[in-house]
Amino acid sequence: MITTTKRLGAVAVALASVTALTVILSPAASAAAPLRDLAAAKGRYFGNSMTAGDFNDSAYRALNAREAGVVTPGNEMKWDATQPSRGNFTFTRGDQVVAGAVAANQKVRGHTLVWHSQTPPWVQNLSATDMRSAMVNHINTVMGHYKGKVFAWDVVNEAFAEDGTRRQSFWQQKLGDGYIADAFRIARAADPTAKLYYNDYNTDGIGAKSDGVYNMVKAFKEQGVPIDGVGLQAHLIVGQVPSTMRQNMQRLADLGVDVAITELDIRMRTPADSAKLAQQARDYTAVVNACLAVARCVGITTWGLSDNHSWIPGVFPGEGAALPFDGNLQPKPAYDAMVSAFGNVPTTTTTTTTTSVPGDANCRVTDTINAWNTGLTSSITVTNTGTAPIDGWSLAFTLPGGQTITSGWNATYSPTSGQVAARNVSYNATLAPNASVTIGFQANHTGNTAAPPSFTLNGSACTTA
């Protein structure tokens, strides 16, 4: 873990060498490289689940943009959300998640097409023939809508019972054993470019249930049923990460499919204490290490990033604290453990710089730079210090040489180096007097991690006053 003392030391160095900057500590900033970059350096992705509502929480949205390279919609692509009544498809909320992901340069995992849960009663009450045609239509329409926007789908979710036999869901009871292979064949035809996954929980280590899944995937490969991957949800408990996780992923990979950890969280009895958090950090390390040890483990998604965005407390009373950030979006030992497991050498400085430009202005800018060896994030807060509302804005600044923007959030950035204009997006176009907007971007650098020397908003210089 990066200690406050170390951060202060680094800041002091920055202060001594760059006299024009006012430097304060930014408690939310972490000196580590984002997990999305660390995972990418290992040929993996790091992802997070986001609901449409999560994008309205700007601090959480920014955290998600910084850390995750892949987003899975928490609920918005499920059957009850996409086809609440027969033939009535609605993609508004799913599209919101896709738009939020695209704005942060993230890819989207689709979740989920055929499941016994969050599927409306009208489906469950159909006759066998009707149910099959509803399944065909649903897969075709939903995958058709998201073609080119979703790189992988959980085609079938949670179809096994704990003893490794098929779950006796309405799908199984009406359509029989063949419905899963059927769903995969329909899905392949609906979007041949998407990776097709079977996804389940309590299948993380070797056991009766994962044996059932393994045998199904083996049979599918022998029979030419189109399956590309297996998702292990990994809803785990502190101190109980299965010791056979790596082995289990490897045996699936050996069948010729990819493996992904799709919904990771590691819960504990609350309240958390330092011993539980330390154990949780070891548990997160074990999961990352298991994935890194299996060449076909393509990525890890956590089911939320922070403990206030988790399904656990609502479903397991008295349990929680399952995610890498706490309820104040501060990194927990589990976050630092993942950073280390993904191979980061935390070498960098975290500084908050406040740029001051003389002259009359109707704006104030605070720019927080968080840099590591080859990259940085910049979080910029712009305040309207004038008396009139600003409707539509463009924040102009010059990036120091060697810095190139690779992704951004809450604004569009163009071009990606040199003299950049950050323009509002639809939901933050208006800035009332005294109102602020926080935008941000991630950039590569070649050594110069300084903030832009000055900013103008719609052509007039901004100050810190």
Q: Is 212:165 a contact under the CB 8 Å cutoff?
A: yes
The 8-class DSSP code of residue 400 comes to P
Which residue reads 């986001």 in tokens?
A: 50
- Phi and psi torsions of 61, nearest 5°: -60, -40
Q: Which of 158, 162, 222, 319 is catalytic?
A: 158
**Helices 179-190 and 208-223 meet at what angle, rounded to 10?**
60
Check binding of 231 to ligand G2I (CB under 6 A): no
Nearer to ligand G2I, 117 or 406 (CB): 117
Nearest residue to the partner ligand G2I, using Cβ: 311
Options 162, 222, 263, 319, the catalytic residue: 263
Please check whether residue 107 is in contact with residue 101, taking contact to mean a CB–CB distance below 8 angstroms. Answer: yes
Residue 398 near ligand G2I by CB under 6 A: no
Residue in the block written with tokens 């609605």: 90
Told to check if 118 binds ligand G2I by CB under 6 A, we report yes
Contact between 412 and ligand G2I per CB under 6 A: no
The site that binds ligand G2I (CB under 6 A) totals a number of residues, namely 8
Smallest distance from ligand G2I to CB 113, Å: 12
- The DSSP-derived string for 413-429 is EESSSSEEEEE--GGG-
Restricted to residues 286-325, the positions that interact with ligand G2I (CB under 6 A) are 311
Q: Is 92 in the site for ligand G2I (CB under 6 A)?
A: no
The pair phi, psi for residue 441, each rounded to 5°, is -150, 165
Query: In angstroms, rounded to a whole number, what is the distance separating the alpha carbons of residues 186 and 169?
Result: 20
User: In this chain, which of 4, 22, 92, 117 binds ligand G2I, going by CB under 6 A?
Assistant: 117
C-beta of 209: minimal distance to ligand G2I in Å?
14
Q: Could you tell me the smallest distance in angstroms from the CB atom of residue 83 to ligand G2I?
A: 15
Query: Is 222 one of the annotated active-site residues of the chain?
Result: no
Residue 280 CB neighbour total at 10 angstroms: 27
DSSP percent split of the chain into helix, strand, coil, nearest 5: 30, 30, 40
As given in the structure block, the two tokens for residue 460 are: 């007039």
How far apart are alpha carbons 40 and 45 in whole angstroms?
6
* Binding track over 236-265 against ligand G2I, x by CB under 6 A: ---------------------------x--
For the chain, give the longest Cα–Cα distance: 75
Give me the 180-209 binding string for ligand G2I, x by CB under 6 A, dash otherwise. ---------------------x--------
Q: Does 82 interact with ligand G2I (rule: CB under 6 A)?
A: no
Are 169 and 100 a contacting pair, CB within 8 Å?
no
- Shortest Å, Cβ 51 to ligand G2I: 7
Which of 47, 69, 74, 229 is in the footprint of ligand G2I by CB under 6 A? Answer: 74
Q: Select from 26, 58, 75, 373 the one that contacts ligand G2I (CB under 6 A).
A: 75
Active site residues per annotation: 158, 263
User: Residues in the site for ligand G2I, rule: CB under 6 A?
Assistant: 74-75, 117-118, 201, 233, 263, 311
